[in-house]
Amino acid sequence: MFMGKNRYLTAQEAATELGISLDTLYAYVSRGLIRSEASDGQKRSRWYPLEDVQRLKKHKGEYRHPDKVAAGAMQAGTAVMESAITMITDDRFYYRGHDALTLATTHSVEQVAALIWTGDFSAEQSVFSRTSPESMLARYHKICPYLAGLTPLEAFQVCLPLVALDDIAAYDLRPEAVAQTGARILQLLAIVTAGGQHITHGIAQTVQQGWVPHDEPATALLAAALILCADQELNVTTFTARCVASAPDYRHSRGSSMLDRQNGLKHFSGRLTLLPTSVRP
């Protein structure tokens, strides 16, 4: 269906034109690849500009040629990586089929990490209970005096490559071992964030003890925030980490690559620019 001069499509028409499912269409909208506008002021009914659909269809056609894929992949916002982790649909988003908003209030950070890494909540025990960042903490405590005055992100960038020298188990690339390495890194970053606090009863509580030790209810809020930010889909930092992860390597390299991109203007400045308009009544 074409509407007026600008020509709009319904969701089903746009999906059919692109040869994709409605869920994939909504994911493209969430990434800013296709615009959507309310139909007659109705929030649940949306229209999609034909020009956006045709532009994306043209890009998808180019990706059938390997020599064009690499160049296209580097264009900010172009979705050339499919993710099995996050689905965005009907104003909700899901981690491996589980509503993220529900997970944020019913599960721990560790459980959600296990779900994302392995697809199984119950893997939390094998991933976190059988691992400890202690092997990396000795070197961390040695370099602590040199971290004074650094932001948490800067401290992460200093710590991660140095403590990796003592984490020999990180070179075990079997799936379960890789998840355990991720758990050690996550625990270490929680300790750094909390200003040197030891892991107590969990990552969220460790951060709470370091930031607001007299406000125990803050643990639930911190856990919810961490869970809701667990996967950033094709954000530039996540894209970078997944590119590094596509080659056999150990997780410290992936973490360092992602942290480097966190400092970039592409990561935060766009959000700061949009913030004033997004909070208007």
Matching residue, tokens 């390997």: 66
Predicted confidence at residue 130, as pLDDT, reads 66
Burial of 97 (0-12, 13-18, 19+ CB in 10 A): exposed
Edge-to-edge strands, sheet with 37-39: 8-9, 42-49, 37-39
Say which residue, 33 or 116, is predicted with more confidence: 116
pLDDT band per the 50, 70, 90 thresholds, residue 132: low
The two structure tokens encoding residue 219: 């643990």
pLDDT above 90 covers what percent of the chain? 20
Confidence of residue 40 (pLDDT cuts 50, 70, 90): low
Specify the higher pLDDT residue, 253 or 181. 181
Map out the domains of the chain as residue ranges.
8-80, 107-277
Q: 257-273, pLDDT tens digit by residue?
A: 555 545 554 454 444 44
pLDDT tens digits, 197-252 = 677 679 999 999 999 999 999 999 999 999 998 886 556 666 666 676 666 555 55
Beta bridge partners of 38: 46
First to last CA, the chain: 32
In whole angstroms, what is the distance from residue 256 CA to residue 161 CA? 7
Q: Among 34-48, 101-115, 157-171, 172-186, whose mean pLDDT is lowest?
A: 34-48
pLDDT computed for residue 206 by the predictor: 92
- Give the H or E element holding residue 47: strand 42-49
Task: Confirm whether pTM is higher than 0.75.
Answer: no
Residue 81 has pLDDT above 60, yes or no: no
Give the C-alpha separation, 202 to 206, whole Å. 6
- Other beta carbons less than 10 A from residue 273's beta carbon: 10
75-98 mean pLDDT: 71
Structure tokens at 200: 């107590």
Structural domain 8-80, CATH architecture: Orthogonal Bundle (1.10)
